[in-house]
Structure formats: structure tokens, C-alpha cells
């Protein structure tokens, strides 16, 4: 149940990042990660539960095609993973990790 509300918060945070020109034009996003480095990373949903929770999707970190991410169940909070990148969080607060020593604090909005 906490995962549902957390996923909803991620969605809400991704919408905030849609204000950036890259996110709005390049990839219509269902969610947006707005991070402390000043960049916004859109996420396009591929599969969503009946309650609106993200299960799988595509994370766009550059101009190329998105990386396929999937939800990994956690006890508290959530984790979305792809090769070399993962997003950990709880509700609207998230941390985007590009490796073990490169975490970025982010907020999540719904698109």
C-alpha cells in the first residue's frame, strides 16, 4: 500500500519537471524527476496498475531513447532499476543514482 502512494507521489513530481523544454518537447512524460543538478528526467509509463502506480516505463537521461525501468518491491519506499541507474525513494522524494558514488536528490511530479 505504501508503494502505491509512493508511486503516485513520483508521478506528481515528474509533472513538475515537464515545465522544462526538453521534457515537454522531446518525450511526453507521465512522471518527471527534478533533480538538484538543475536537470529534469522524464519517465514515460509503460505499465501502470489500476490504482495509478508505475510498474514499468522508460527513463530519459539524455537525447537518446529511454532506458527501460521496472519496479523492485521494497519494504518501505520504492526502487526502479535499469542497467547502471536506479531511482530510490519514498513518496515525492527520490534519489537518482548513476552509480554507487553519484546520487542526486530529486523530487517527483506527475505529468
Q: Read off the pLDDT of residues 71-86 as tens digits, 9 standing for 90 and up.
A: 998 888 889 999 889 9
State pTM to two decimals: 0.70
- Could you tell me where the beta strands, DSSP code E, fall in the chain? 31-35, 40-48, 54-59, 67-72, 78-82, 85-90, 93-97, 103-110
**Mean pLDDT, rounded, for 92-98:** 92
- The C-alpha angle with vertex 35 and arms to 17 and 89, in degrees rounded to 5, equals 100
**Mean pLDDT, rounded, for 31-59:** 91
pLDDT of 16: 38
Amino acid at each position: 500500500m505504501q508503494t502505491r502512494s509512493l508511486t503516485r507521489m513520483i508521478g506528481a513530481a515528474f509533472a513538475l519537471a515537464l515545465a522544462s523544454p526538453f521534457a515537454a518537447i522531446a518525450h511526453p512524460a507521465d512522471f518527471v524527476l527534478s533533480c538538484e543538478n538543475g536537470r529534469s528526467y522524464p519517465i514515460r509509463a509503460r505499465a501502470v496498475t489500476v490504482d495509478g502506480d508505475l510498474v514499468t516505463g522508460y527513463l530519459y537521461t539524455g537525447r537518446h531513447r529511454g532506458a527501460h525501468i521496472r519496479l523492485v518491491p521494497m519494504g518501505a519506499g520504492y526502487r526502479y532499476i535499469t542497467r547502471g541507474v536506479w531511482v530510490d525513494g519514498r513518496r515525492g522524494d527520490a534519489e537518482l543514482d548513476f552509480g554507487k558514488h553519484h546520487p542526486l536528490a530529486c523530487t517527483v511530479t506527475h505529468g
